[in-house]
Structure 1
Amino acid sequence: MVLALRRSLAMSSRVANRSLGMLHQQQKAMKHTHTLVLIRHGESEWNKKNLFTGWYDVQLSEKGNKEAAAAGQLLKKEGYTFDIAYTSYLKRAIRTLWHVLEQTDQMWIPVFKTWRLNERHYGALTGLDKQATVEKHGAEKVLEWRRSYNIPPPDLDTSSEYYPGNDIRYKDVPKADLPLAESLELTAARVLPEWESTIVPSIKAGKNVVIAAHGNSLRALVKHLDNISEDEITGLNIPTGAPLVYHLDENLKPIPHKDAIAPLSAFYLGDQDEIRARILGVKNQTK
Structure 2
Amino acid sequence: MKSQLAIVRHGQSEYNLENRFTGFADVDLTTQGREEAAMCGRKLQGMQFEACFTSVLKRAIETLDIILDTIGQKQLPVYKDAALNERDYGDLQGLNKAETAEKYGAEQVALWRRSFDVSPPGGESLKQTQERVLPYYYANIEPLLQQGKNVLIVAHGNSLRALMMHLENLTPDAISHIDLLTGVPRVYDFDDSGKISYVQHLTS
Identify the TM-score tier after normalising by the shorter chain.
over 0.9
Write the mapping of 1:246-261 to structure 2, written as runs, cut at 5 A.
246-256=188-198
Whichever structure has more strand as a proportion of its residues is 2
Alignment-derived partner of residue 212 in structure 1: 154
Alignment-derived partner of residue 113 in structure 1: 80
Query: 2-side partners of 1:233 and 1:270: how far apart?
Result: 19
Alignment-derived partner of residue 146 in structure 1: 113
Alignment-derived partner of residue 37 in structure 1: 6
Write the mapping of 1:1-287 to structure 2, written as runs, cut at 5 A.
32-76=1-45, 79-155=46-122, 181-256=123-198, 266-271=199-204
Shift of residue 249, structure 1, vs aligned partner: 2.2
TM-score normalized with structure 1 length: 0.70
Query: 2-side partners of 1:268 and 1:95: how far apart?
Result: 22
Shift of residue 81, structure 1, vs aligned partner: 1.3
User: Deviations 1:50-94 (Å, cap 9, x if unpaired)?
Assistant: 000001100001100000011112211xx1111100000000000
Shift of residue 206, structure 1, vs aligned partner: 1.6
- Aligned-partner residue type, residue 50 of structure 1: N
Query: 2-side partners of 1:255 and 1:229: how far apart?
Result: 19
SS of structure 2 residue aligned to 1:134: helix
Q: Which one has the largest radius of gyration?
A: 1
User: Deviations 1:200-256 (Å, cap 9, x if unpaired)?
Assistant: 111112211000000000000010011101111111110000011111123432213
Alignment-derived partner of residue 172 in structure 1: none
* Structure with higher RCO (Cα < 8 A, 6+ apart): 2
Identity %: 47
Extract structure 1 runs of 4+ deviating beyond 6 A: none
- Aligned-partner residue type, residue 168 of structure 2: D
- Contact residue 35 and residue 208 of structure 1 kept, 8 A: yes
TM-score normalized with structure 2 length: 0.98
Query: 1-side partners of 2:133 and 2:106: how far apart?
Result: 28
Whichever structure has more helix as a proportion of its residues is 1
Query: 2-side partners of 1:192 and 1:44: how far apart?
Result: 25
Gaps of 5+ in 2: none
